[in-house]
A and B are shown apart, each in its own frame.
Chain A
Amino acid sequence: MSASMTAVFRTGLPATGALTLQRCGRCRHVNYPPRELCGHCLADDLQWQPVADGGVVQSLTRLSYSLEPAYAEHLPWAIASIRLDCGPIALAHLAPGIACHARVALRAIQDRAGNRMLLATGIDTEAQRLLAGWLQSVGFKEIQA
């Protein structure tokens, strides 16, 4: 995907590859999608912190159509709904070869436009071995931080 065809999104994720979400300093609730106040106790005390990156695929879909040109050359494009061990539901890009109900690990990656987004990957060594080649093929990069 070329950078010129890639839109800039406000995903709100910090510049770190390890899964980092907003945890409330008062009630410890983990919030996602990003917001300004804790959705559980409404405290103004959310802090971006590394959280447990495990989760389970609840459902997955393969897009055959996207309004965004950046995805058009990589269709069908898999995304999934993940129930994170730390609480929230996250929509995430899905690395190849992952079935529904599988355990996954979440991390943040960035695309060529610098958009930081969530990616669900398999947890076995084979899945991790294949990951680098797939990331390169779709224009995703690890976030160095």
Chain B
Amino acid sequence: MSRPASYSGIALVSPVTLGYSRTSEHSASWFIGSVLRELIAAAGIRKDEVDGLAVSSFSLAPDSVSFLTQHYDMTLRWLEQLPFGGASGILAMRRAARAVQQGDADIIACIGGDTASQGSFRELVADFSSFSNSACYPYGSAGPNAPFALITQHYMDEYGATREDFGQLALSQRYNARHFPGALLGDKPLGMEDYLGARSISSPLHLYDCVMPCAGGEGFLLMSQQRAQELGLPYVTVLAADERHNAFPQDPIQLRGGWPLFSAALYASAGINPADIDLVQTYDDYPVISMLQLEGLGFCEPGGAPAFVRETALTFDGGGLPHNTSGGQLSVGQAGAAAGYLGLVESIRQLTGTAGANQVPGARHAMVSGYGMINYDRGLCSAATILRAGEMA
């Protein structure tokens, strides 16, 4: 299998996280446009220097990305709208990188943004996909809770994982969130007794296994490394990235995403090993999915994640393997498609040394993983990228 072509010469700059709130009066275009404004300000460029825009949003309809060019009064030469949920950020990055490498655009704003209101989560999950509409939602599942409860229960049955193991992820992420001002749940400490004693949602899932839907925006700018250096911007380079969709469809219950199909090639392409990774961001719509990513990306064997999370410090300052260093969705909130950008944007902050109180000292390499689109009984999109801190010219 040929690996993807090199991402050399590409830089990611100006990480922006904006406006997380439980509900909002604003529209998705407000969140996306506000992120765009902050991206331009952070990079010190003019709006008309941005010539490409990649957008992901569940709540933008009836508008689409082409309409946004008029909202924001921009003339662009490159547009993408990516409906990939939790894989949106990495997939936008991959496509935008090719456009810049090929000369189709110079500076691309990659943005995920969603609004939320009372009842909007039900509207989203009650009409999410034709398969879910006909064969999942009618059975009473509150959105993806039931499919992930079934996956979590199967994972526990197969590998002997306990609720405390999943709790290790929830607790360490809450600790990280308490050092990240943007996290919606960052002011609420979470202990193991709280975690275990929380109300049941869909057995074996309890309250703190489930993300809180919210509004918010995330984004970054993608440009050439040379441009980033000319602008004097701290940047991150892409050592490797890949994606798979509907991997292992014969598995009766999803115990692996697409990562085992490409993770070895990802490390080979990057020229590093899992031991060289300074921090990892997984897509944590539910803790079990973070475990599938830790396994699929080579940090432990299949079924080894429960032991791994028991034995490894996952906090940003624990000296182990810092994981979901801003708190992940479980503690920051799940802002629709922006959640598919959360780990990537946080990694750009970390690797450019601009993270603040939750900074991982000396972080040089990050693994970021994405997972998304629960069509029926499993997530279909898997993506991952290895990033490296850029060096100033």
Residues on A close to B: CB < 8 A?
7, 9-12, 32-35, 58-68, 70-71, 76-77, 79-81, 83, 89-93, 100, 115, 117
Contacts and interface: CB of A to CB of B under 8 A. Distances in A.
B150 A60 contact: yes
A46 B136 CA distance: 21
Contact of B253 (A32, A58, A71, A115): A58
B203 A62 contact: yes
Given A59-B150, A60-B150, A79-B146, A91 B203 contact: no
9 contacts: A7-B126, A11-B138, A12-B134, A58-B252, A59-B151, A61-B205, A67-B142, A76-B203, A91-B146
Interface residues of B, number: 37
Given A61-B204, A63-B142, 14 more contacts: A9-B137, A11-B135, A34-B134, A34-B135, A35-B131, A59-B151, A62-B203, A67-B122, A67-B142, A81-B377, A89-B377, A91-B136, A91-B141, A93-B139
A7 B137 CA distance: 11
Contacts of B151: 59
Contact of B143 (A67, A77, A91): A67
Interface string B199-232: 1111111000000000000000000000000000
B25 interface: no
A12 B141 CA distance: 18
Contacts of A83: 252
Nearest to A61: B149
Chain B binding site: helix, strand, loop or mixed by DSSP?
helix
Contact of B202 (A32, A64, A90, A91): A64
Given A11-B135, A67-B125, A83-B252, A58 B154 contact: yes
Contacts of B131: 33, 35
Contacts of B121: 67
B269 interface: no
A89 B146 CA distance: 14
A83 B4 CA distance: 35
Contacts of B153: 59-61, 100
A35 B376 CA distance: 13
Contacts of A117: 138-139
Contact of B133 (A9, A32, A64, A77): A9
Instruction: Name the residue in B138, B146, B203, B204 with the highest tally of chain A Cβ atoms < 10 Å from its Cβ.
Output: B138
Contacts of B126: 7, 67
